[in-house]
Amino acid sequence: MLSAGQHRCFGFHESEESCHAKLRSQRVSSFAKGGAVHFSPVILDRQNRINTAELQTHLKNIDFGQGPLAPEQITEFIDQMQVYEGAMYEISTKLEILDSEFQVRFSHNPIHHMERRLKSINSIIGKLQRRNLPLTVDAIKDNLFDVAGVRVICNYRDDVYSVANYLSAQNDIQVLRVKDYIKNPKQNGYRSLHVIYAVPVFLSSGPHYTPVEVQLRTIAMDYWASLEHALRYKTDLPDAKLTEHSQTLLDCARSLQNIETQMQNIHRDINSAPQVGEAPQAN
Ligand code: GTP
Ligand code: MG
């Protein structure tokens, strides 16, 4: 149930005000040529911007099993989360710019939409604990590369590789790791291109290179991954049903791949955007 003042916006529950802010953020620019109107890709934020007071209260109340955090540790944690947020915004801005360049040059938007999220405190703690790492900011910085995440949903497979390669070629960011699950799908049928970038976030103390995990996939891959993710967290299903659905999903992944290839081929014939068939390499 949605509480008063909330409504469903792009599939997420959030305040009406933040939905309106989002709609406003779908910037519209008008180009003189033919009076055509171009939209920049919709960016869906999975949560509002960092709220320091809220984060402070949350951190004070969390049971770390090692006693409460010292005030300076809380400040250090919040500062680091703000750096992750900055890195996430830098990457999404770069992606928006690439998308509008494609629109202007090739009359094609490679990016359908984007989603951004920062990992929640509880997920960060859970991941550190699963890996037997200490609950410190240094452990987060050295070991977790997906605190800041941007998901880029593209129209076609060619777009996934083009966007990833053009972004990776920018010389102010580094490619730390590439996992190409499109070329090598996971056993369950999961396909996506994962790239971890190190992005300089400029603070008063100078640049802080910060990792951002970018997951690039097509609309079809995203459609599939959403259902597979939902099935994985549906723990009350009998095992036999789970096995049956997992097999069906694997079949669906193959069918979607075929459909995507056929539609990609039609699109190649009617669009002049450059094709880059390979994933970027780590630096
Ligand atoms: P973790 O981040 O701990 O998962 O390990 P990793 O960094 O080695 O994982 P990887 O790069 O393979 O995947 C990271 C993210 O990709 C996950 O958090 C999911 O968002 C997504 N992902 C990976 N595999 C699957 C999958 O089989 N199904 C779905 N739906 N999403 C997946
Ligand atoms: Mg991860």
Amino acid letter, 23: L
Q: Supply the pLDDT for residue 64.
A: 64
Ligand (nearest to CA of 224): 1
Mean pLDDT of the region 160-170: 97
pLDDT digits (tens, 9 = 90+) for 48-61: 787 888 888 888 87
Compute the distance between CA of residue 38 and CA of residue 262 in angstroms, rounded to an integer.
27
Give the pLDDT band (50/70/90) at residue 273. Answer: confident
Q: Out of 53-67, 171-185, 258-272, pick the least confident.
A: 53-67
Mean pLDDT of the region 130-148: 96
| Pocket of ligand 1 contains residue 111 by CB under 6 Å | no
What are residue 38's DSSP bridge partners? 29
Average pLDDT score, the chain: 86
Residue 32 has pLDDT above 70, yes or no: no
Residue 149 has pLDDT above 60, yes or no: yes
Q: 123 C-alpha vs ligand 2 centroid, how far in Å?
A: 11
Nearest CA to ligand 1 atom 20: 215
Query: What does the domain layout of the chain look like in residue ranges?
Result: 38-270
The highest-level CATH class for domain 38-270 is alpha beta
Mutation pick for ligand 1 pocket among 176, 187, 190 (CB with most ligand atoms within 8 Å): 190
Which residue from 94, 268, 255, 249 is spatially nearest to 166, judged by alpha carbons? Answer: 94
Compute the distance between CA of residue 19 and CA of residue 1 in angstroms, rounded to an integer.
17
Distance of CA 247 to the CA centre of its chain: 27
Ligand (nearest to CA of 223): 1
- Nearest atom in ligand 1 to 181's CA: 12
Q: Supply the pLDDT for residue 90.
A: 97
Q: How many CA atoms lie within 13 A of 23 on its CB side?
A: 7
Residue 185 has pLDDT above 60, yes or no: yes
| Pocket of ligand 1 contains residue 186 by CB under 6 Å | yes
Q: 215 C-alpha vs ligand 1 centroid, how far in Å?
A: 9
Q: Supply the pLDDT for residue 25.
A: 44
| Pocket of ligand 1 contains residue 179 by CB under 6 Å | yes
pLDDT digits (tens, 9 = 90+) for 210-231: 999 999 999 999 999 999 999 9
Q: How many CA atoms lie within 13 A of 35 on its CB side?
A: 0
Q: Are strands 42-45 and 111-118 parallel, antiparallel or unpaired?
A: parallel
Compute the distance between CA of residue 234 and CA of residue 108 in angstroms, rounded to an integer.
38
Q: 216 C-alpha vs ligand 1 centroid, how far in Å?
A: 12
Q: Which residues are catalytic?
A: 213
